[in-house]
Amino acid sequence: MVEDNQRILIKIAELENYLGDFAKIVPKTEEEYLTSRKNQLALERLFQICIERVIDICAILINKFKLGVPANEENILDLLIGKIDNIENLKDMRKFRNFIVHKYGEINNQLVFQYATEKMDDFNNFIENIRKII
């Protein structure tokens, strides 16, 4: 399963690079974020990309552990319950990513800023957990 591990490490590196970009552009205050359309769009897109990398890594893990074929994207995370810590937080982030991507109504910029400032540790915890697994 070296190939799976290598693919996971590549995806982790991509995720870490995007998280670094994310950290560089997160405004210090919500007001600064809310008054910059450029920051809003950039953070929305980076958040989307980061959660997609998480899903990619999870799909590779499902293959590595031979957990079956996920019925849908949501099922990818469900199949890894008990194998990955913090899975419920990741499921919430995936739902929020879907909200951003499909723009179900108007984007709640305050919620995006909250995720950007309070939830990003979930990605780092995920990476740490995956490194232990592989």
Report pLDDT digits (tens) over 71-117: 988 899 999 999 998 889 999 999 989 888 887 567 888 889 998 99
CA-based nearest residue to 115, from 16, 33, 12: 33
Answer yes or no: is pLDDT of 118 > 70.
yes
Q: Which fold has domain 2-133?
A: Four Helix Bundle (Hemerythrin (Met), subunit A) (1.20.120)
| The token pair that represents 126 in the structure block | 């995920």
Q: How would residue 29 be classed by pLDDT, with cut points 50, 70 and 90?
A: very high
Answer yes or no: is pLDDT of 50 > 90.
yes
The pLDDT value given to residue 76: 94
- Write b or e for each residue in 76-93: b if 16 or more Cβ atoms lie within 10 A of its Cβ, otherwise e: bbebbeeebeebeebeeb
The pLDDT value given to residue 108: 86
The pLDDT value given to residue 62: 96
Helix intervals (H) in the chain: 2-25, 30-34, 37-65, 73-78, 87-102, 109-114, 121-133
Q: How would residue 119 be classed by pLDDT, with cut points 50, 70 and 90?
A: confident
Query: Would the pTM count as exceeding 0.75?
Result: yes
The pLDDT value given to residue 51: 94
The pLDDT value given to residue 105: 64
| The token pair that represents 85 in the structure block | 């810590």
CA-based nearest residue to 124, from 56, 24, 50: 50
Q: Say which residues have a Cβ less than 8 Å from residue 29's Cβ, sequence separation at least 6.
A: none
Q: Say which residues have a Cβ less than 8 Å from residue 71's Cβ, sequence separation at least 6.
A: none
Answer yes or no: is pLDDT of 1 > 70.
no
CA 125, 86, 45: angle at the middle one, nearest 5? 65
